[in-house]
Amino acid sequence: MKQPNRAIQFKSSNEVELLEKDYQEPNMDVAQLAHVEIFSPKPEESVDFFRRILGMDVVHQEGQSVYMRAYEDTYHNTLKITESFEAGLGHAAWRARSPHALLRRVEALEKTGLGLGWIEGDIGHGAAYQFQTPDGHKMEILWDVDYYMPPEEQHTVLLNRAQKRPDRGVPVRRLDHINLMNSDTKKNTDFLMDALGMRLTEKIVTDEGDVLGTWLSVSNIVHELAFMNDPSNAKGRLHHVCYWYGIPQNLFDVADLCKENNIHVELGPRKHSISQAFCLYVYEPGGNRIELFGDAGYLIFDPSWNPVIWSDLQTVSDRGVGAGFTESYWNYGTPDVKARVHMD
Amino acid sequence: MKQPNRAIQFKSSNEVELLEKDYQEPNMDVAQLAHVEIFSPKPEESVDFFRRILGMDVVHQEGQSVYMRAYEDTYHNTLKITESFEAGLGHAAWRARSPHALLRRVEALEKTGLGLGWIEGDIGHGAAYQFQTPDGHKMEILWDVDYYMPPEEQHTVLLNRAQKRPDRGVPVRRLDHINLMNSDTKKNTDFLMDALGMRLTEKIVTDEGDVLGTWLSVSNIVHELAFMNDPSNAKGRLHHVCYWYGIPQNLFDVADLCKENNIHVELGPRKHSISQAFCLYVYEPGGNRIELFGDAGYLIFDPSWNPVIWSDLQTVSDRGVGAGFTESYWNYGTPDVKARVHMD
Amino acid sequence: MKQPNRAIQFKSSNEVELLEKDYQEPNMDVAQLAHVEIFSPKPEESVDFFRRILGMDVVHQEGQSVYMRAYEDTYHNTLKITESFEAGLGHAAWRARSPHALLRRVEALEKTGLGLGWIEGDIGHGAAYQFQTPDGHKMEILWDVDYYMPPEEQHTVLLNRAQKRPDRGVPVRRLDHINLMNSDTKKNTDFLMDALGMRLTEKIVTDEGDVLGTWLSVSNIVHELAFMNDPSNAKGRLHHVCYWYGIPQNLFDVADLCKENNIHVELGPRKHSISQAFCLYVYEPGGNRIELFGDAGYLIFDPSWNPVIWSDLQTVSDRGVGAGFTESYWNYGTPDVKARVHMD
Amino acid sequence: MKQPNRAIQFKSSNEVELLEKDYQEPNMDVAQLAHVEIFSPKPEESVDFFRRILGMDVVHQEGQSVYMRAYEDTYHNTLKITESFEAGLGHAAWRARSPHALLRRVEALEKTGLGLGWIEGDIGHGAAYQFQTPDGHKMEILWDVDYYMPPEEQHTVLLNRAQKRPDRGVPVRRLDHINLMNSDTKKNTDFLMDALGMRLTEKIVTDEGDVLGTWLSVSNIVHELAFMNDPSNAKGRLHHVCYWYGIPQNLFDVADLCKENNIHVELGPRKHSISQAFCLYVYEPGGNRIELFGDAGYLIFDPSWNPVIWSDLQTVSDRGVGAGFTESYWNYGTPDVKARVHMD
């Protein structure tokens, strides 16, 4: 890391001079990942997995969709499981930092030509503006949300917790992030940085300049969203959705439970090099990869953070601790392209 | 939690109406707690504790001060230990989000009448504007910082880590927060919320309306600063400085090491109710209370977070897990008032 | 620890001389604590606690008794909960190392005058010889046991595990030990050492020679049974029954769950000085204190182990890590004497 | 597991009949693994690894050997590192349960024709009888040991701990077990079961009856010694020596430290299926594989334990949690055969 030149020149105890007059202030308009919708061809089994193994609650059912939440999710729901003929991403939703911030972002999105327009809302939130990434991942941004109002039997003694800790499975605490496969990591990354103000925290770039993966954040965690190169010809695939424990040991507990219940454990527990997060990857019965985070990795408070640059996948794998990456990790996403081709 | 009214009214896919036109956008000008200075009447023993037990490095010595850092602190140093006749807080420093943000905050501070003026800088940072809280705790706010440049033997394989993990003690990873005792928690809290834009995340307020403690944040962690009522007549006392592990087990490891090395363990490991943080309190040899955080507690991403309100200390104590609070926890701070009176 | 004199004298590569000819070989006749029966005035709530919070299974019900097991208990059951007008110990059962070892112990027990005679067996085991301690705690010793035969849906992938890990609560793995209050710790300890061959591993003895507590083992763990002085006039009271996790973090998980479900958490998580075990104490709804062990503490392999001697309760408390002992810890046992007196 | 037939028939409260009159009582003559000697071609680097990374202490140096101990090892030393031209096992030492037990085992060993005779002793112990396995691994059995007498500055506050917890590295607590590669697992296993009374706890046997690995115990832990098939033509190779933490998280801490210090991490942290132990494998600078145990896995108290039988290596690998086995795990041992051939 290079030492920054001084942006401010001391003159006296009463006076300084601003040298870097055109320093670009960071865009703080997007506050967080609010919820995710996934598609599942086996919705009952999927819901059973999130309920019985990950301890999440079903809070609403409507049409072909089931709405679920982790016990420390602040809002009404963070996961919408919609029945579909194949697994994949439904959409991901971002919450703006204020109503005005939302309108500013919508204005920026409209200029990109990738805006899809407003919707009235859904279970758990009000008006949302929908758009897509260059690769076609569907997203939305919103302000108005509903907080979760637990029934009597879910009242908790911990006032900073939205509801009582469940007595099922190894219960996850809250939604953490999503990881998307894509055909052009640089292009999709630039889109979200420009339109939403996301900040790049880490990336993998080869010596030839190919961007293999990016980690993007709107907060102090290393990422709410990552992009990975998709080696297939598919576009818009989901790599994984991640829920958070905050407690490393819970990953071993839930991995044990998954093994006992015929849930495919793909990778981990492992301590990542990128993000330093302690993680586990499993496939929910519908086929989507679910990541579980066992700790907070490292947090970034530095407002002038220089993105960390890794040069190849092998180094990224080797410098972590525990299980190395599998072939499937780099190739499998949902929808499962081979499966789809096969069906055609 | 009450459901918010809608701020935005859906009209059509092309149009919404902003209902809450005067929603106050949060002030994001302050990004983080940058460093802390403590006073110690036993500087050598203090430095030995932070070095040998907490695994921190000495990066500079000058005059009566020693500058130290944890291995994942981003900047040059986060702890300045200055020799003094009694323990206590030297000052706490905040980093602004941009040079412009710094100047905006200085303007606001000047209006409060509690500004002290600019200094040229110190080891590890450039120009800083100094001020004090209504109770007289000395603080500063700055933008220009120096990143840590590790010597060859401290180069790390983890590119997102500032230096190699030390092989001494149970090494802490980074500075987390400070807790200050004060004579009027409401007044000091309002000052930092108004002047710096800090956000209230949790508080203890009696049924009679007395504010016993507040937790204030400029980021996604529950607090960078807390205020607690000081039952003594002293002003400006330090309750504790906290460093972060992110790994719960490390608290038991370091508590074991402290017990073996005659370091007073006051409280914990304990899982707090407020902040849900896993914590340990010890006294460094100079007398200052040092907290160690074992995990990230819970993180707040909700930009419209309603502060959590606790009504009394007993509930706060009971709803945590593990060791309950001791008498000393509520009464002891540095300088140690009784000791000082005794010396007079 | 004093260096032992040599027991064997080297003469040549072909010859040694045995100096300590009358070294008393340890009695290995008792292999383990096999099961425990507790009384509960609220059997339904007790069973719900062990099932839903500790993840144990009900394997049999008969008359006023319910038989339960942890998922790594080897035999059919380890806990018998019998409805009674007050809480307390039903009995504790020891498994001998062989059929012959059982008969040798019975012969020794008969000589003490505290034998009660053979019973035909119970659910999960065959013929058992019953006896009582000088204080009247009922015990039995047996050889013939039934292994657990899990139904199809409980089949596990881990061949060294008796059944699938449950998806309820924070599931305990196996029975660990019992702790009994008594009126004369030295007398009751000597009885079990003489009659069963238990080995003393740690004890608390005041400078005046009063034995306040003893830890007794028949294996490599520090204790299967402990005796503590009962400050009341009662005899034969139960201090606690302990189940084992082997994983420290699980204690925080289950403490959280207990707090959320109105289960009284008396003490911990705490790292004991004696046994170095990581522990938690809660009261099951019937009133009996249940301990949960989070790790293996330390194990004793040394066959000439010198018992560790502590001189007072304060040192024992202070040299642990985490929550200190409460008043109730030293005084409360089941049956609850005050409650009983009150009812008379 | 099949239900045992009853060995004892109930007649009346005063009388039972022994049905299984010829039940073979277990041989309890060997109590524990006492110490291990390894060869290192880089003794200084090896000692630095055990001292600085694993926190062990050097307690004696003599000739080409350095004697070391972990801080909860009971006796004077548990590791002897002897300079040699290549890495490998020096010898492993067993402590008998009593002087008489030692003489009984020596008598049995002499009958096998694999006895080597008595030695006068070594630093930390008295007379020992040396022997070898059919494959030529050198071993010894002894009774007389020296306890560790820590100097003043190593005095600990924990009376059941032999010395103060070190402030270096991530300190291991005690020696746990050894794993030996061999040319005929069945033969070497039978030898130790017959001559020393070791008990088989788990094994891998193919459908064709080939014994691929065995786990042998003299205590309640799953093994003090394991044998694995050696795919090379070498005899008497060491697979690994294992030290114990008892705390799962410590494995991630020490793996991080190893990665930062250029120590090769071969495998893990991983939760084994066999033994259920949480483990990590690294190569010390001399080339020997060192395992670190993070918890106690499961303990066996059942005196009629039926050995657990696994049918293939893939199942053994798959049913663990975390990193899968590497090629090197099954092939590499010390001395490193390829390296040796190369040197010739």
Domains annotated for chain D, with CATH where assigned, are 30-146+170-343 (3.10.180.10)
What average pLDDT does range B76-104 have in this prediction?
98
Which chains have at least 3 CB atom pairs separated by less than 8 Å from chain A?
Answer: B, C, D
Residue B1 has pLDDT above 60, yes or no: no
Tens digit of pLDDT for each residue in A213-265?
999 999 999 999 999 999 998 999 999 999 999 999 999 999 999 999 999 99
Q: Which residues of B touch C (CB under 8 A)?
A: 248-249, 252, 255-256, 259, 265, 268-271, 278, 319, 321-324
Closest CB to D23: pick one of C99, C145, C146.
C99
Chain B CB contacts of D157 under 8 Å are: 259-260
Instruction: Compare CB distances from B20 to A72, A99, A158 and report the shortest one's residue.
Output: A99
Contact residues, chain A, for C261 at CB < 8 Å: 167
- CA pair distance C259, C265, nearest whole angstrom: 7
- Chain D residues whose CB is inside 8 A of the A269 CB are 269, 321-322
* C-alpha C37, offset from chain centre: 12
pLDDT of C277 > 70? The answer is yes
Q: Which residue of A has its CA nearest to C51?
A: A167
pLDDT digits (tens, 9 = 90+) for C307-329: 999 999 999 999 999 988 999 99
What predicted TM-score, i.e. pTM, was given to this entire model? Answer: 0.97
Q: What is the mean pLDDT of chain A?
A: 96
> Using the beta-carbon criterion (under 8 Å), do A248 and C249 form an inter-chain contact?
yes
Please write the tens of the pLDDT for every residue from A54-109. Answer: 999 999 999 999 999 999 999 999 999 999 999 999 999 999 999 999 999 999 99
pLDDT band at B323 (very low <50, low <70, confident <90, very high): confident
Q: How many CB contacts within 8 angstroms connect chain B with chain D? A: 45
Distance of residue D23 Cα from the nearest chain C Cα, in angstroms: 7
- What ipTM describes this predicted complex? 0.96
The per-residue pLDDT for range D301-312, each reduced to its tens digit, is 999 999 999 999
Predicted confidence at residue B338, as pLDDT, reads 80
> What pLDDT is attached to residue A342?
55
| Residues in D touching C305 (Cβ below 8 Å) | 74
Q: What is the mean pLDDT of residues A121-132?
A: 98
Give me the amino acid identity at D226: A
Chain A positions with Cβ closer than 8 Å to D: 248-249, 252, 255-256, 259, 265, 268-271, 278, 319, 321-324
Q: What confidence category does residue A3 fall into, taking pLDDT thresholds of 50, 70 and 90?
A: low
Distance from CA of A251 to the nearest CA of D (A): 10
Listed in sequence order, the residues at least 6 apart from A31 whose beta carbon sits closer than 8 Å to its beta carbon are A94, A95, A96, A97, A101, A218, A219, B301, B302, B303
The answer to whether residue A5 scores a pLDDT higher than 90 is no
On whether the CB atoms of residues B143 and B102 are closer than 8 A, the answer is yes
What residue in B sits closest to D167 (Cα-Cα)?
Answer: B169
Q: How far is B255 from chain D, CA to nearest CA, in Å?
A: 11
Q: Which two tokens stand for residue A98?
A: 């204020």
- What is the average pLDDT across C227-251? 96
Does the structure show a pLDDT above 50 at D121? yes
Q: How far is CA D319 from CA A91, A240, C149, C247, in A?
A: 35, 24, 21, 19
CA D243/CA D73 separation, integer angstroms:
10
**What's residue A25's pLDDT?**
94
Q: How far is B224 from chain D (nearest CA, A)?
A: 26
Q: Is the pLDDT of residue C154 over 70?
A: yes
- CA nearest neighbour of A297 among A277, A274, A269: A277
- Do the Cβ atoms of A249 and D252 come within 8 Å? no
Local structure of residue A14 (DSSP, 8 states): T
Q: Where are the beta strands (DSSP E) in B171-276?
A: 174-182, 199-205, 211-217, 225-229, 238-244, 265-271
Interface probe, candidates C247, C261, C321, C325, chain B, greatest B C-beta count within 10 A: C321
**C219 contacts C301 by C-beta, under 8 angstroms:** no
Residue B344, pLDDT score? 44
The percent of residues above 70 in pLDDT, for chain B, comes to 98
Q: What is the per-residue pLDDT across A157-204, written as a single tens digit (0 to 9) for each?
A: 999 999 999 999 999 999 999 999 999 999 999 999 999 999 999 999
pLDDT at D344 over 70: no
In angstroms, the separation between the Cα of residue A134 and the nearest Cα of chain B is: 21
Rounded to the nearest 10 degrees, the angle between the axes of helix B185-196 and helix B99-112 is 140
8 Å CB contact of C248 and A252: no
Chain B interface test: which of D155, D253, D260 (most B C-beta within 10 Å): D260
Q: Phi first, then psi: what are they for C218, rounded to 5°?
A: -120, 10
pLDDT confidence bin for D118, thresholds 50/70/90: very high
Alpha-carbon separation of residue B304 from B2, B215, C81, D121 (angstroms): 12, 16, 50, 73
List residues of D whose CB lies inside 8 A of any A CB: 248-249, 252, 255-256, 259, 265, 268-271, 278, 319, 321-324
Neighbors of chain C with 3 or more C-beta pairs under 8 Å: A, B, D
Query: What pLDDT is recorded for position B340?
Result: 72
Checking phi first, is residue D241 left (phi over 0); if not, alpha (psi -120 to 50) or beta? beta
Give the residue among C235, C134, C138 at the shortest CA–CA distance from C191: C134
Nearest CA-CA distance, residue B335 and chain D, Å: 29
CA–CA min distance D252, chain C (Å) = 15
- Does the pLDDT at position A2 exceed 60? no
Distance from CA of D71 to the nearest CA of B (A): 12
In total, the C-beta contacts within 8 angstroms joining chain C to chain D are 226
The Cα–Cα gap between A226 and A192 comes to: 11
Chain D residues touching residue C143 (CB < 8 angstroms): 7-8
Tell me which chains share at least 3 CB pairs under 8 Å with chain D.
A, B, C
According to DSSP, residue B170 is labeled S
pLDDT in tens, D33-64: 999 999 999 999 999 999 999 999 999 999 99
pLDDT (0 to 100) of residue C3:
61
- CA D152 to chain B, closest CA, distance in angstroms equals 13
Residue of A nearest to D268 (CA): A322
Helices (H), A15-164: 43-48, 99-112
Instruction: Give the number of beta-carbon pairs within 8 Å between A and C.
Output: 45
Q: For residue D341, name the pLDDT band (cuts at 50, 70, 90).
A: low
Residue D322: phi and psi, rounded to 5, are 100, -150
The nearest CA of chain A is from the CA of C32 a distance in Å of: 27
Average pLDDT over residues D80-105: 98
Contact C301 D31 (CB under 8 A): yes
Say what the pLDDT of residue A339 is: 73
Rounded to a whole number, what is the distance in Å from the CA of B145 to chain C's nearest CA? 38
Which chains, if any, share at least 3 CB pairs under 8 A with chain B? A, C, D
CB C306 within 8 A of CB C4: no
Residues of D in contact with C301 (CB under 8 A): 31-33, 74, 95, 219
Query: Is the pLDDT assigned to residue B136 strictly greater than 80?
Result: yes
- Please report the pLDDT score of residue A71 as a whole number: 98
3-state secondary structure of A325: coil
| 8 Å CB contact of B259 and C323 | no
Q: Is D5 left (phi over 0), alpha (psi -120 to 50) or beta?
A: beta
Would the pLDDT of A280 be above 90?
yes
C104/B243 Cα distance (integer angstroms): 59
Q: According to the model, what pLDDT value does residue C4 have? A: 59
Find the CB nearest C252 among B259, B268, B321. Answer: B321
Q: Which of B252, B278, B323 sits opposite C323 (nearest CB)?
A: B323
Residue C219, pLDDT > 50, answer yes
D16 pLDDT exceeds 50?
A: yes
pLDDT tens sequence across B9-65: 999 999 999 999 999 999 999 999 999 999 999 999 999 999 999 999 999 999 999
Q: Could you say which of B12, B158, B202 has the minimum Cβ distance to residue A160?
A: B202
Which of A321, A327, A328, A329 to mutate to test binding with chain D, by most D CBs within 10 Å of its CB?
A321
State the pLDDT at residue C344.
45
Residue of A255, A265, A271 lying closest to D252 (CB–CB): A271
Query: Which of B154, B167, B170 has the highest number of chain D CBs within 10 A, making it the mutation to test binding with D?
Result: B167
Secondary structure class of B258 (helix, strand, coil): helix
Structure tokens at B55: 């695994």
Give pLDDT, residue D338. Answer: 79
Confidence of residue B341 (pLDDT cuts 50, 70, 90): low
Helices (H), B167-214: 185-196
Nearest CA in chain D to B251: D249
